[in-house]
Chain A
Amino acid sequence: MADITLRVNGTTRTGSPEARKTLADFLRDDLNLTGTHVGCEHGVCGACTVILDGRAVRSCLMLAVQAAGREVTTIEGLAPDGEHGGHEGLGTLQQAMWDSHSFQCGFCTPGFVMQATAFLGDHPDADEQQIREALSGNICRCTGYQSIIDGVLLAAQRNRTLRNREPLSEERP
């Protein structure tokens, strides 16, 4: 056992995981953040993807103790629940994926959303081919991927519209 302190979704959290425990199991079992899903448990399916200090990582391929002092974002950190438990709090990507019917059973969803969040953060103007490659490490057994790609493309498009709208009104004479 080792005492660790880390930031999770903007909040300081502490824990005493066994040295052998993965970050995925620590998030789920110790912090009760069960939105991070554990699929293959050996780094192939991508369901457990979280964001560590700004980069997508597989939380099943990291030990919890290695996250000490780091900043972790899980699916729970992307958008807080709405007041009435609805989807008022969805972010742009989540809403776009909702609108595109990007999910069926939902098991792979947190991993896709986290990977896409990290990717769009670095590549806001990504095209379809780039998005396909970025998401190629995440496995979905239901959708056939097309609706997931559509959702991420729609989010990129909406972000562009938002970006273009804001600065132009101030910069133009």
Chain B
Amino acid sequence: MLAGGQSLIPLLALRLARPAVLIDINGIDELSGVSAIDGRVVIGAMTREYVAEESGTVADTVPLLAAALPLIGHEAIRSRGTIGGSLAHADPAAELPAVARALDAEFVVRGLSGERVIPAAEWFEGYLTTSRRPDELLVEVRFPAAEDDTGVSFHEVARRHGDFAIVGLATSLVLSGGVISDARLALTGVSDVPVRAAAAEELLAGERPSTELFDEAARRATADLDPPGDLHGSPGYRKTVAAAVVRRGLRAAADNAAKGSN
């Protein structure tokens, strides 16, 4: 299934994928578009990343997604790459899977047996693997609108702007009267799927932002991680970087929430 082609065409060029049939869905207009419906933002799977990046609806309603989009690849990649394509490709180092996981986005797939909605927690099954069946097409992704007093950040450590990050973190905090009422953290690059930091989220809920709190959250977020090692970083290095990214991401999100600027 060919959408933006920014991951599939390289796989074809390198002969890592050799499909007998390739179906180009670029001509299906109804798969593209951004709309706000019932407290959610619904994004068609074929919506190009640059279109979402320039969308006022996305900027106003799903600030975490807006923060992540400019970090995807390079400008020329976002010209063609699509929201659904990135999420269906499910690279654990990519930005959008972490955003979808942090926000509990919903994936709408359609196939011969009808339509079903898959929560983000069940979408990512492994490296480049989702729970979409071979006869199903991802048609749209639904992101919940951010509450008032939400602060977000997307923090990543990469060798070069636009590269896949060694470690990245999607953070969304809701501050109610100075107290964290909702904390969502999802890490990239530390496993074969994007990882929610549930232990850190539990710690943060009900607390006031502080350096000590964020240090402890970083410890809890990374305690059980067993990241892969490659030429960009050893498992130990990734773990150390992940802890630093959690501290920085939480501080930035808390500051944004306090300022009322997302």
Is A58 an interface residue when CB atoms closer than 8 A count as contact? yes
Bound together, the chains give a CA A119 to CA B74 distance in angstroms of 12
Bound together, the chains give a CA A126 to CA B160 distance in angstroms of 19
Which residues on the A side are within 8 Å of B73 (C-beta)? 137
By the criterion CB–CB under 8 Å, are B24 and A58 in contact? Answer: no
By the criterion CB–CB under 8 Å, are A60 and B13 in contact? Answer: yes
Which residues on the B side are within 8 Å of A33 (C-beta)? none
By the criterion CB–CB under 8 Å, are A61 and B5 in contact? Answer: yes
Q: How far is the CB of A122 from chain B (nearest CB, A)?
A: 9
Stretch of A39-47, A148-156, A165-173 at the chain-chain interface? A39-47
Interface membership of chain B positions 1-17, coded 1 if the CB is closer than 8 angstroms to chain A and 0 otherwise: 01001100110011000
Which residues on the B side are within 8 Å of A63 (C-beta)? 2, 5, 9, 24
Which residues on the A side are within 8 Å of B76 (C-beta)? 46, 49, 55-58, 115, 118, 137
B74, closest chain A residue (CB) = A137
By the criterion CB–CB under 8 Å, are A56 and B75 in contact? Answer: yes
Interface membership of chain B positions 47-65, coded 1 if the CB is closer than 8 angstroms to chain A and 0 otherwise: 0001000000000000000
Which residues on the A side are within 8 Å of B80 (C-beta)? 57-58, 61-62
Is B79 an interface residue when CB atoms closer than 8 A count as contact? yes
Which residues on the B side are within 8 Å of A104 (C-beta)? none
Which residues on the B side are within 8 Å of A133 (C-beta)? 161-162
A43: contacting residue among B75, B77, B160, CB under 8 A: B77
Is A66 an interface residue when CB atoms closer than 8 A count as contact? yes
By the criterion CB–CB under 8 Å, are B162 and A61 in contact? Answer: no
Is A52 an interface residue when CB atoms closer than 8 A count as contact? yes
B11, closest chain A residue (CB) = A42
Is B211 an interface residue when CB atoms closer than 8 A count as contact? no
Q: Looking at chain A, what size class is its interface with the partner chain?
A: 20 to 34
| CB within 8 Å for A42 and B79 given contacts A61-B9, A137-B162 | no
| CB within 8 Å for A43 and B10 given contacts A55-B50, A137-B74 | yes
Interface membership of chain A positions 56-81, coded 1 if the CB is closer than 8 angstroms to chain B and 0 otherwise: 11101111011000000000000000
Q: How far is the CB of B252 from chain A (nearest CB, A)?
A: 19
Bound together, the chains give a CA A119 to CA B10 distance in angstroms of 24
Q: How far is the CB of B221 from chain A (nearest CB, A)?
A: 28
18 inter-chain pairs at a CB distance below 8 angstroms, sorted by A residue, are A22-B9, A22-B13, A42-B14, A43-B6, A52-B79, A55-B76, A56-B75, A58-B6, A58-B77, A61-B6, A61-B9, A63-B5, A65-B24, A66-B5, A66-B26, A132-B161, A137-B74, A137-B75
Additional A-B contacts beyond A56-B76, A62-B5 (9; CB < 8 A) = A19-B22, A41-B13, A42-B9, A43-B9, A61-B9, A118-B75, A119-B75, A137-B75, A137-B77
- Residues of chain A whose beta carbon lies under 8 Å from any beta carbon of chain B: 19, 22, 41-44, 46, 49, 52, 55-58, 60-63, 65-66, 115, 118-119, 132-134, 136-137
